[in-house]
Amino acid sequence: MNGCIVHVSDTHFGGEADLALVEGVVELVPDLEPCVTVISGDLTVRARHGEFQAARALVQELEHTAPVFIIPGNHDVQWWLRPLIPYDRGAIYRKYAQYFGPNLTPTASLPGVLVAAANTAYGVTWGSLSFDPRDLAVKGHLPAKEIRRVGELFQQTDPAQLRVLVVHHNVIRGEVSERMGLVRWKRAQRQIVDCGAELVLCGHDHQECAEQLDRRVVVSCTGSLSTRSRSERPSVFHRICWDDESIQIEQYRWSSDRRSFKRADVHVFTRSRQRREAKIPARAS
Ligand SMILES: [Fe+2]
Ligand SMILES: [Fe+2]
Tell me the pLDDT tens digit for each residue of 117-146.
999 999 877 777 777 777 777 889 999 999
Residue 274: predicted pLDDT: 54
- Is the pLDDT at 23 greater than 60? The verdict is yes
Q: Residues 58, 14: contact at Cβ < 8 Å?
A: no
Question: Whole-prediction pTM value?
Answer: 0.93
- DSSP E strand boundaries for the chain: 3-8, 36-39, 68-70, 107-110, 113-117, 162-166, 199-202, 209-213, 217-221, 236-242, 246-255, 260-270
Q: State the distance from the centre of ligand 1 to the C-alpha of 138, rounded, in angstroms.
A: 9
- Return the CATH superfamily for domain 3-270: Metallo-dependent phosphatases (3.60.21.10)
Question: Could you tell me what percentage of the chain is helix, strand and coil, using 3-state DSSP and rounding each to the nearest 5?
Answer: 25, 25, 45
Backbone angles phi, psi at 163, to 5 degrees: -105, 110
Nearest to 46 by CA among 80, 18, 70, 21: 80
Neighbours of ion ligand 1 (CB under 5 A): 10, 42
User: What residues contact 81, with CB distance under 8 A and at least 6 apart?
Assistant: 91, 92
C-alpha 193 to ligand 1 mean position (Å):
24
Reported as a pLDDT band with limits 50, 70 and 90, residue 285 is very low
**Which DSSP symbol is given to 60?**
H
- The rounded Å distance from CA 211 to ligand 2 centre is 19
CA-closest candidate to residue 206, choices 12, 5, 4: 12
Lowest-confidence segment of 24-38, 42-56, 177-191 by average pLDDT: 177-191
Rounded mean pLDDT of 86-103? 90
At residue 130, the pLDDT reads 72
Percent of the chain with pLDDT over 90: 76
Mean pLDDT of 242-269: 96
Distance 42 CA to ligand 1 centre (A): 5
Distance CA 262, CA 267 (A): 15
Q: Dihedral of CA 59/3/211/115: which sign?
A: positive
pLDDT mean over 40-54: 97
160 CA to centre of ligand 1 in angstroms = 33
The residue ranking higher by pLDDT, 277 or 48, is 48
Which ligand ends up closest to the CA of 138?
Answer: 2
Compute the distance from residue 70 Cα to the ligand 1 centre, in Å.
14
Distance from the alpha carbon of residue 113 to the mean position of ligand 2, in angstroms: 26
Q: What is the pLDDT of residue 87?
A: 72
pLDDT number for residue 128: 75
Comparing 93 with 272, the larger pLDDT belongs to: 93
Asked if the model's pLDDT at residue 95 lies above 80, the reply is yes
Task: Output the pLDDT for position 187.
Answer: 95
User: Mean pLDDT over residues 78-88, rounded?
Assistant: 73
CA dist list (Å): 155 to 35, 117, 277: 22, 15, 7
